[in-house]
Amino acid sequence: MAPLEHPGLEAMTEATAPACVEIERLGRHYGLPAKPIVALQDVSLTVREGEFLSLLGPSGCGKSTLLRCIAGLDKPTTGAVRVRGKPLSGPPAGIGMVFQRDVLLDWRTILDNVLISAEFQGRGRKENIGRARALLERFGLGGFADRRPWELSGGMRQRAAICRALLCDPDLLLMDEPFGALDAMTRDDLNVELSRLVQLGGRTVIFVTHSIAEAVYLSDRVAVMSRSPGRVAEVFEIDLPRPRPLSIRETPEFGRHVGQIRSLFSRLGLVREE
Ligand SMILES: Nc1ncnc2c1ncn2[C@@H]1O[C@H](COP(=O)(O)OP(=O)(O)OP(=O)(O)O)[C@@H](O)[C@H]1O
Quote the pLDDT of residue 8: 41
Counting ligand 1 atoms within 8 A of each CB, the residue from 28, 65, 177 with the most, and so the one to mutate, is 65
Confidence band of 3 (pLDDT split at 50, 70, 90): very low
Counting ligand 1 atoms within 8 A of each CB, the residue from 28, 63, 214 with the most, and so the one to mutate, is 63
Contact 176, 103 (CB under 8 A): no
Quote the pLDDT of residue 7: 40
ipTM of the complex model: 0.97
Determine which residue's CA is closest to atom 26 belonging to ligand 1.
59
Q: How far is the CA of 64 from the centre of ligand 1 (A)?
A: 7
Most confident of 22-36, 90-104, 111-125, 195-209: 22-36
CB atoms within 10 A of CB 209: 23
Determine which residue's CA is closest to atom 13 belonging to ligand 1.
39
Q: How far is the CA of 1 from the centre of ligand 1 (A)?
A: 39
Count how many residues are written for the chain: 274
Confidence band of 258 (pLDDT split at 50, 70, 90): very high
Counting ligand 1 atoms within 8 A of each CB, the residue from 54, 64, 177 with the most, and so the one to mutate, is 64
Quote the pLDDT of residue 244: 94
pTM of the model: 0.91
Q: How far is the CA of 42 from the centre of ligand 1 (A)?
A: 16
**Ligand 1 cavity residues, CB under 6 Å:** 30, 37, 39, 57, 59-65
CA distances from residue 31 to 28, 36, 41 in whole angstroms, order as listed: 10, 5, 15
Q: CA angle, corner 50, sides to 49 and 52, nearest 5?
A: 110
Residues 136 and 114: their CA atoms lie apart, in Å, by: 9
Q: Among 145-149, 153-157, 211-215, where is mean pLDDT lowest?
A: 153-157
Residue type, 193: E
> Which ligand 1 atom is at minimum distance from the Cα of 67?
18
Determine which residue's CA is closest to atom 31 belonging to ligand 1.
60
> Which ligand 1 atom is at minimum distance from the Cα of 230?
14
Determine which residue's CA is closest to atom 6 belonging to ligand 1.
30
Sign of CA pseudo-dihedral 41, 37, 223, 262: positive
Q: Among 51-60, 201-210, 259-268, where is mean pLDDT lowest?
A: 201-210
Instruction: Average the pLDDT over 193-215 and give the result.
Output: 90
Quote the pLDDT of residue 15: 60
Instruction: Average the pLDDT over 19-38 and give the result.
Output: 94
Q: What is the pLDDT of residues 33-89, one digit of tens each?
A: 889 999 999 999 999 999 999 999 999 999 999 999 999 999 999 999 999 999 998
Q: What is the pLDDT of residues 121-132, one digit of tens each?
A: 878 888 999 999
CATH code, 15-91+207-274: 3.40.50.300
Instruction: Average the pLDDT over 209-233 and give the result.
Output: 94
Quote the pLDDT of residue 274: 55
Instruction: List the chain domain ranges.
Output: 15-91+207-274
DSSP 8-state symbol, 121:
T
Contact 58, 270 (CB under 8 A): yes
As a whole number, the mean pLDDT across the chain is: 90
